[in-house]
Amino acid sequence: MLFGEKNPVRKISFFTLTLLLLVLIPVLTGLTGVKTYAADIPSLKVSAKAAVLMEPYTGKVLLEQNPHEKLPPASVTKIMTILLIYEALEDGKIKMDDIVTVSAHAASMGGSQVYLEEMEQQSVRDLLKSVVVASANDSSVALAEFISGSEEGFVASMNEKAKSLGMADTNFVNSCGLPAAGHLTSAYDIALMSRELITKYPQVYELTQIWMDKIIHRTARGEEEFGLSNTNRLIKSYSGATGLKTGSTKEALYCLSATAQRDDLNLISVVLAAPDSATRFHEAMRMLDYGFANYKVQKGDEAGKVMGKIRVFKGEVLETDFAVKTQISTLIGKSNSIDMQSHLEVLDAISAPCPAGSKAGEIVYTFDGKEVGRSDLITTEDIKRVTLPEMMQRLFYRWFY
């Protein structure tokens, strides 16, 4: 017995009980709140088989319920299809004004569709719009075939992309989400591909926030308008809603990946296998409300901000400015009053010649003593190597002045 301790056995038992409670409480509640620099943030129970709430720019999961259970995703599948369409546009493989001729296979799709006909021609722009706004299965397959030559080839690319994103619970069988054996993913994987889409191609919001629009069918019968209505009712009913994709089949029940932004905070709310349509929207909103009520984003120095100077060895100038390459942000609890701290790790000097953007060091951000991110510090101008006459002039000046 040390330092007047009266009952060490009782103290050890209490400590052990506390540890057990800390482990068991998240398990018993089912949906856990991540302690992301926040104290006493409550948990939440969702009326769906699986759910995930994620902040996309940090990738932090704030809530999860059966996040890795493999389930059919219905038309939420199309998030991956849309992602690959934007990648093909970025790579120059296709263009928005390209004309797609609809195949018999694409025209045969059931479920949500815009009733494309075999040999009908549509632009990539209008087909993409009908996929994002109206969840058109026929348009999804037409674009998949246009990009990869066949839907099977496109699906192979979908699975390859899923693997590269760390979507370990996912196997795609088609490009649109119609029921198929083995076509499965998880709430966590949907959050991952949603994150990739909205952070890499935020222009998708131009389409996801359309409430009503139209396309023109051009067939042998002439031209005919077809109305498009957004399947995501949160666009109209939830403050800050930006997207993203709904889905429902008899097998998958009601699914949703909902995105929203308020101030600097973006969130992805994924709900899988909700019992009905109203429940999926209601539960997605509850999760978003939870995130906006309890968390905030704290940002580091802006990209391009000059942070100091670094010496240049054998350069036409003796020193040059360096600036922040990428703005770093972290997620913290709203009740937290601590600010993010930073310190510079700068090289002693750089050697010429060196182009603008050469690494001069790093800026490291910490919160509550823990590192939360770092960015390169880069030079802001091209620097040539000093010429021999200029070097002699410098030496002369140094000797005599």
* Chain segment 143-196, per-residue pLDDT in tens: 999 999 999 999 999 999 999 999 999 999 999 999 999 999 999 999 999 999
Number of separate domains in the chain: 2
Asked if residue 5 belongs to a domain, the reply is no
What pLDDT is attached to residue 401? 64
43 assigned to active site: no
Give the whole-angstrom CA distance, residue 236 versus residue 245: 14
250 and 346 housed in the same domain: no
pLDDT score at 42: 60
49, 75, 148, 342: the catalytic one is 75
CA distance 150 to 143: 9
Query: Does 41 map to a domain?
Result: no
Q: Is residue 245 part of a domain?
A: yes
Please tell me whether residues 268 and 328 are part of one structural domain. Answer: no
CATH number at residue 217: 3.40.710.10
- C-alpha distances in Å from residue 206, one per residue of 40, 129, 174, 212, 316: 37, 10, 26, 13, 47
Cα atoms found within 13 Å of the Cα of residue 34, Cβ hemisphere only: 17
Quick one: 60 and 196 in the same domain? yes
Please compute the mean of the pLDDT values over residues 17-34 and round it to a whole number.
Answer: 39
Q: Are strands 241-249 and 32-33 parallel, antiparallel or unpaired?
A: unpaired
Tokens of residue 245, six digits: 């994709």
Catalytic hit among 135, 186, 257, 342: 135
User: Has 148 been annotated as catalytic?
Assistant: no
Residues 6+ apart with CB under 8 A from 290: 44, 53, 62, 63
Q: Is 35's pLDDT higher than 80? A: no
Residue 12 lies in a domain: no
Integer Rg of the chain from CA: 27
**pLDDT of amino acid 337:** 78
Q: Do 137 and 253 belong together in one domain?
A: yes
77 plus 140 within the same structural domain: yes
Closest to 125 in 3D by CA, of 219, 206, 194, 196: 206
pLDDT interval class at 22 (50, 70, 90): very low
CATH number of 388's domain: 2.60.410.10
Looking at the structure, do residues 142 and 236 belong to the same domain, yes or no?
yes
Catalytic residue among 49, 78, 245, 296: 78
Q: What is the pLDDT of residue 338?
A: 83
- pLDDT tens for 367-398 read 888 999 999 999 999 998 887 777 777 677 66
Last residue of a domain, one of 298, 333, 358: 298
* Together in a domain, 137 and 163: yes
The one-letter code for the residue type at 121 is Q
Mean pLDDT of 188-216: 97
- Enter the pTM of the model: 0.82
Same domain as 286, residue 206: yes
Query: Quick one: 311 and 286 in the same domain?
Result: no
Question: Do 267 and 164 reside in the same domain of the chain?
Answer: yes
Please check the confidence at residue 128 and state whether its pLDDT lies above 70.
Answer: yes
Which of residues 240, 275, 298 is at a domain's end? 298
Q: Is residue 237 part of a domain?
A: yes
pLDDT band at 268 (very low <50, low <70, confident <90, very high): very high
- In this structure, is residue 358 part of a structural domain? yes
Confirm whether 8 is domain-assigned. no
The residue among 254, 271, 298 that closes a domain is: 298
Residue 23 lies in a domain: no
239 and 369, same domain (yes or no): no
Give residue 236's domain range.
Answer: 50-298
Q: Do residues 185 and 284 share a domain?
A: yes
Q: Is 75 a catalytic residue?
A: yes
